[in-house]
Chain A
Amino acid sequence: MTINGWMQIALFCALVLALTRPLGGFLARLYAGERTFLHPVIGPVESGFYRLSGVRPGAEQGWASYALAMLAFNLAGFAAVYGLLRLQGVLPFNPQGFSGVTPDLALNTAISFVTNTNWQSYGGEATLSYGSQMWALTVQNFVSAATGMAVAVALVRGFARRSAGGLGNFWADLTRSVLYVLLPACILLALVYAALGVPQTLEPYVSAKTLEGAEQTIALGPVASQLAIKMLGTNGGGFFNANSAHPFENPSELANLIQMVSIFAIGAALTNVFGRMVGDERQGWAILGAMGALFLAGVALVYWAEVGANPIHAALGLDPASGNMEGKEVRFGIALSALFAVVTTAASCGAVNAMHDSFSAIGGLIPMLNMQLGEVIVGGVGAGLYGVLLFAVVAVFVAGLMVGRTPEYVGKKIESREVKLTMLALLCSPAATLIGLAIASVSPLSLAGLQESGPHGFSEMLYATTSAAANNGSAFAGLTANAPFWNILLAAGMMIGRFALIVPMLAVAGSLARKPVVPVSAGTFPTHGPLFVGLLVGVILIVGGLTYFPALTLGPVADAFATAAGATW
């Protein structure tokens, strides 16, 4: 580990922290329906949309109708993406003349983009036309991110409101997220990326003759525009198969830094929105503090693991001082690859700038654990906040009793209904991951797609089912996932991981909103200090992580010990 490496990590953290408060303030005003500096320009567009669709943005929805609106919108999104991919062959903007996508791949891809997972069973430049990338995938990149932001804000309203029936209006929250946040920021970012060298063109791929005289096709396309939302909306679906390890998708260190910061920007700001809306910004900082502690621990572990040399390589005469550079871009090196891997799995982004499969066993374990904890370390836009708030509810319920009062969080009593729904929401992701993994472990169909055997092969499967259920979308690689078995198994995991969590979570929000607020006193369980941060970290690790211990032991942990012992499969 080098000073330089840590400086770069520190710079990243400083930028995210610096953005949290201003962006949080803007978002809080936006979701409260107040005017922002963007209203003079965007306001008319927004109200135009409402007039067209007949939405009354002030009409309050209860949790059930909020959830129904969210589900209906996402179902329509799924149908649209599926249809567009299947019909790709006859649709315009297809200079490479790609044919329609197969049914199982179209299903997997549609669900992948609706659920903000962006798992790539497809190979971007080899399967999808410019048209499909733009109107199917990029559109979903925007609206799936906006869906996450909307439902997170609905949960925050549940905590913030007193004795209220409604959680806000899904259509208004969705529209505002897209129009005021994602769209303007992405236009700006796309221009920056283009300036840094990311292609933005509708021209067909370029053919070039290499020095050796071979023919090479260089893939191009409207990359910068998709890259912007892929990061900001924590989508992660790359334009190219190699994702942000591809030089056109990540041309320089500056582009790399901007990408990482934009993954965390909205997620971190939403913790501040939470603090502001419940009337105590410290509550938001405490949540971000717990996230930050887990994040830094993860970064340090991966960095440390990757700097360490692979004993098997060392035995072959490789210089141990170079660390584990397999699968990493030399341009980024170990520190930035480690940081990127933790950022992308802590948030539910899934973009990669290095191949996680080639990380050391422990270096690969942390990204998996990040996802298995529910991606609550900053997390996906919206998803991270509502995920961590569910853990906060459990933390407060378990330990809150220890101050001699029935549990309450930011003034709301946590009672059996909330506990029931929270447990239901927290159960679905482990269920999807572990049951999916169990099926994959015994099915010859799945094992056929594995590159490795032994613990590392198990890790590849574990990573895939985890990434799907956590709606991350990053891949460990090494697993040939574009086969009907994996496409369908992972599609199911993505669906459960997204909607089976959101619906009970919204029910929690509805139930909380109806409650009165208990005033704070010296007897109130303090949820803004370091003590709570420590408690929350403990609960996330124990309640969220223990479930995966057996699987992790048979995968990366066994892998690590085996590597240390020089065993191979």
Chain B
Amino acid sequence: MSAQTRSLFDFALIAPALASAARKLDPRQMIRNPVMFAVEIAAAVAAVLFARDLASGGSAAFSGQLTFWLWLTVYFATFSEAIAEGRGKAQADALRRTRSETMAKRLLGDGVGLEEIAAAALKVGDVVLVEPGDLIPGDGEVIEGVATVDESAITGESAPVIRESGGDRSAVTGGTKVLSDRIKVRITAASGSSFLDRMIALVEGAERAKTPNEIALTILLAGLSLIFVLAVATIPAFASYAGGVVPVIVLVALFVTLIPTTIGGLLSAIGIAGMNRLVRFNVLAMSGRAVEASGDVDVLLLDKTGTITLGNRQAAEFLPLPGVRPSELADAAQLASLSDETPEGRSIVVLAKEAHGLRGREMGPLEATFIPFTAQTRMSGVDMGASKIRKGAAEAVIAHVKQLGGTIPAELAEIVERVAKAGGTPLVVARDAQPLGVVYLKDIVKGGIRERFAELRAMGIRTVMITGDNPMTAAAIAAEAGVDDFLAEATPEMKLALIRREQAGGKLVAMCGDGTNDAPALAQADVGVAMQTGTVAAREAGNMVDLDSDPTKLIEIVGIGKQLLMTRGALTTFSIANDVAKYFAILPAMFVTLYPSLGALNVMGLASPESAILSAIIFNALIIVALVPLALRGVSYTPSSAAALLRRNLLVYGLGGLIAPFLGIKLIDMGVSALGLA
């Protein structure tokens, strides 16, 4: 976070933002933001009044300063948007460079001939050949071959990844580079709508459509502005009753300070910054709506492996059958695992050493041949002369023993079941026709995950663990990890049904997935995070893509969504609470000539009516720019219950919003009167 905060006001970003902010003053663009559009009109009116004062010799110094600060208010708002966009633009430019001028080798109809064609001219369904050193010309699916691909251009991750036909890792992205081997790729996205194009558009904010909540908030702010139009526009009539006149420029100033300019000015920057925060987490949201929805998520579906548990199981205990010494079992298990390079195999060797002091041995002198694991045998082991040691799934080893004429003691089934019930995987070890016992392979629950789930629960989010394990194993791991619920022996259909059931109860569901068979569930979920390593189908179905393919990120994504909404709410509350102080600054200044006794309302003791009005306007402008860092960074967020969050934020931004302007306006007034500005 510190690195990102540092770059908040990077000069390289500020200079272009200053220029871009000026272009955004175009009323045709401003009208999208009703509050700031109203300020712009007010500023224009003030400019006319200033010109009139210049011509007629009126108090041009006062109206001139007000005009200046009103324009600055509008400019600060556009600047906040420009700087938020600027941070995305830098990233987009880097992406755009990779896209330009790629050439493709398109396969001709005969499947053999090749033609050189510009990547931009490729159509959906074309098949291209990509060779080492080539950039993949467009988004597509590998239909033939395996290759290592450098995807650092989009993920920032320099380690190459494997892409192969079939399977769940068949999707390739345009602009990434093949490092080894040849693959044939069928193009699945037309030029201009590819992943890279969308990503550029997203980070640039060019395609940024207002999100539903943003639209609703804009309406509320416009409605409040309208109410204040009424409040201000009726004042001249009231003043005329009291036998006086209120200068128009003062009415303009009052109007601008009352309407919610702080949130109006920063609203768009908050939205863009929220998207950028996701991008910095290497997550691409396909729409702002998805980011908002992630704040609302009630249920998180998390895959067990890789998210809740480490990808690998580890040997935790040797459980010998009656009549077998523990060290005998450990010895056999160790022998069977010496050449086993899988994490499970290595963990057995480690356990044998730790628990029974058995050192690693060289395979060579033992004249042993390693028998690797295959999907057919579901066992691995070692042959030493006539002796065969095997370890593997219970059914497989039992079948193997029976085939060799051995008998299976009744205790074996008991041990196997006990291990399974405890959430482990039983690995049966046999020497020749004699079963020796069971290695208890344990799923290792990730450190700290239990606390994460407790946090989520405090936030009101339920976690459901999805696993292919049997219900017994699943229940044990679920209990250890502290998830609220689990779905055992899960199939894609069951996942989909679970999501629909939760949604029927009014809940919002988030999940992540990578395989093609995850696609329906990803599409059904309110927040579907597809893994970048996944298939094209999965990526199309989800509304976010995680470039790091880290399923744990779902938790961060929810946090970012919440932070975005909280920032919006905090600044809205702050903005509206500000009005109280502004009234106390401007109303006495405005009416004191009508009824001198109203001077008593000047609780801040502001120097003069002019300096009071000017100070309120200056505060109003400066608070926007002062809050730009907060808008870009988001309000600080620690997972806790809604009640606790509300208490804290209401205190900071509600009460703070009431008090801060009293202090701010007073300070500015002291400065203004010391400098003799009014």
In the bound complex, residues from chain B placing their C-beta under 8 Å from that of A458 are 238, 241-242
Cα A522 to Cα B458 with chains together (Å): 6
Q: Which one, A403, A415, A554, contacts B645 given CB within 8 A?
A: A403
Q: Are A546 and B231 in contact (CB under 8 A)?
A: yes
Instruction: Tell me, yes or no, whether B296 is within 8 Å of chain A by CB.
Output: yes
Q: Which one, B213, B233, B459, contacts A401 given CB within 8 A?
A: B213
Q: Are A438 and B292 in contact (CB under 8 A)?
A: no
Q: Are B576 and A543 in contact (CB under 8 A)?
A: yes
Q: CB within 8 Å of B: which of A356-402?
A: 394, 397-402
Smallest beta-carbon distance B107→chain A, Å: 49
In the bound complex, residues from chain B placing their C-beta under 8 Å from that of A416 are 212, 215-216, 219
Q: Are A441 and B240 in contact (CB under 8 A)?
A: yes
Chain A facing B: main interface SS:
helix
Q: Are A427 and B568 in contact (CB under 8 A)?
A: no
Instruction: Tell me, yes or no, whether B223 is within 8 Å of chain A by CB.
Output: yes
In the bound complex, residues from chain A placing their C-beta under 8 Å from that of B232 are 550
Q: Are B457 and A549 in contact (CB under 8 A)?
A: no
Instruction: Tell me, yes or no, whether B81 is within 8 Å of chain A by CB.
Output: no
Q: CB within 8 Å of B: which of A403-436?
A: 403-407, 411, 414-416, 418-420, 423-424, 426-427, 430-431, 434-435
Q: Are B216 and A434 in contact (CB under 8 A)?
A: no
Contact with B along A495-537 (1 / 0, CB 8 A): 0000000000000000000001111011111100101001100
In the bound complex, residues from chain A placing their C-beta under 8 Å from that of B230 are 427, 430-431, 434-435, 547
Instruction: Tell me, yes or no, whether B646 is within 8 Å of chain A by CB.
Output: yes
Stretch among B193-201, B412-420, B590-598 lining the A interface: B590-598
Given A419-B220, A542-B580, A430-B238 contact (CB < 8 Å) = no
Cα A543 to Cα B601 with chains together (Å): 21
In the bound complex, residues from chain A placing their C-beta under 8 Å from that of B462 are 521
Instruction: Tell me, yes or no, whether B228 is within 8 Å of chain A by CB.
Output: yes
Smallest beta-carbon distance B2→chain A, Å: 23
Closest to A523 in B: B460
Instruction: Tell me, yes or no, whether B627 is within 8 Å of chain A by CB.
Output: no
Cα A567 to Cα B594 with chains together (Å): 14
Contact with A along B225-254 (1 / 0, CB 8 A): 011101111110111111000000000000
Instruction: Tell me, yes or no, whether B18 is within 8 Å of chain A by CB.
Output: no
In the bound complex, residues from chain A placing their C-beta under 8 Å from that of B241 are 441-442, 447, 457-458, 554
Number of contact residues on B: which range applies? 35 or more
Q: Are B653 and A402 in contact (CB under 8 A)?
A: yes
Smallest beta-carbon distance B516→chain A, Å: 31
Q: Are B506 and A406 in contact (CB under 8 A)?
A: no
Cα A455 to Cα B643 with chains together (Å): 45
Given A402-B649, A442-B237, A397-B642 contact (CB < 8 Å) = no
Q: Are B600 and A561 in contact (CB under 8 A)?
A: yes
Given A403-B566, A427-B223, A554-B642 contact (CB < 8 Å) = no
Stretch among B139-147, B557-565, B664-672 lining the A interface: B557-565
Q: Are B238 and A550 in contact (CB under 8 A)?
A: yes
Q: Are A526 and B643 in contact (CB under 8 A)?
A: yes
Instruction: Tell me, yes or no, whether A181 is within 8 Å of chain B by CB.
Output: no
Closest to A417 in B: B216
In the bound complex, residues from chain A placing their C-beta under 8 Å from that of B258 are 546
Q: Are B507 and A518 in contact (CB under 8 A)?
A: yes
In the bound complex, residues from chain B placing their C-beta under 8 Å from that of A549 are 231, 583, 587
Instruction: Tell me, yes or no, whether B641 is within 8 Å of chain A by CB.
Output: yes
Cα A33 to Cα B641 with chains together (Å): 38
Q: Are A402 and B570 in contact (CB under 8 A)?
A: yes
Instruction: Tell me, yes or no, whether A557 is within 8 Å of chain B by CB.
Output: yes
Cα A431 to Cα B579 with chains together (Å): 19
Q: CB within 8 Å of A: which of B435-486?
A: 457-462
Given A543-B576, A546-B583, A438-B219 contact (CB < 8 Å) = no
Interface centre among B217, B239, B590 (most CB of A within 10 A): B217
Q: Which one, A402, A523, A554, contacts B595 given CB within 8 A?
A: A554
Given A399-B654, A551-B238, A522-B457 contact (CB < 8 Å) = yes
Q: Are B597 and A561 in contact (CB under 8 A)?
A: yes
Cα A548 to Cα B238 with chains together (Å): 12
Cα A430 to Cα B232 with chains together (Å): 12
Q: Which one, A405, A424, A434, contacts B562 given CB within 8 A?
A: A405
In the bound complex, residues from chain B placing their C-beta under 8 Å from that of A553 are 587, 591, 598, 601
Given A404-B637, A416-B219, A519-B507 contact (CB < 8 Å) = yes
In the bound complex, residues from chain A placing their C-beta under 8 Å from that of B239 are 554
Smallest beta-carbon distance A550→chain B, Å: 5
Cα A106 to Cα B215 with chains together (Å): 45
Q: Are A525 and B646 in contact (CB under 8 A)?
A: yes
Cα A423 to Cα B458 with chains together (Å): 34
Q: Which one, B561, B591, B642, contacts A403 given CB within 8 A?
A: B642
Smallest beta-carbon distance B653→chain A, Å: 7
Q: Are B227 and A535 in contact (CB under 8 A)?
A: no
Instruction: Tell me, yes or no, whether B676 is within 8 Å of chain A by CB.
Output: no
Q: CB within 8 Å of A: which of B635-661?
A: 637, 641-643, 645-647, 649-650, 653-654
Q: Are A519 and B594 in contact (CB under 8 A)?
A: no
Q: Are B505 and A519 in contact (CB under 8 A)?
A: yes
Instruction: Tell me, yes or no, whether A538 is within 8 Å of chain B by CB.
Output: yes
In the bound complex, residues from chain B placing their C-beta under 8 Å from that of A455 are 242, 595
Q: Are B572 and A526 in contact (CB under 8 A)?
A: no
Q: Are A524 and B460 in contact (CB under 8 A)?
A: yes
Instruction: Tell me, yes or no, whether A564 is within 8 Å of chain B by CB.
Output: yes
In the bound complex, residues from chain A placing their C-beta under 8 Å from that of B223 are 419-420, 423-424, 426-427
Instruction: Tell me, yes or no, whether A562 is within 8 Å of chain B by CB.
Output: yes
In the bound complex, residues from chain A placing their C-beta under 8 Å from that of B220 are 394, 397-398, 419, 423
Could you pull out 18 A-B pairs where Cβ atoms are within 8 angstroms? A398-B576, A399-B649, A401-B572, A405-B295, A406-B565, A414-B216, A426-B223, A427-B227, A434-B234, A437-B238, A455-B595, A518-B298, A531-B650, A538-B577, A542-B579, A549-B231, A550-B235, A553-B591
Can you name 13 extra interface pairs (CB under 8 A) apart from A549-B587, A553-B598?
Answer: A402-B650, A407-B213, A423-B223, A442-B237, A442-B241, A458-B242, A522-B457, A535-B650, A535-B654, A538-B577, A550-B590, A551-B234, A558-B598
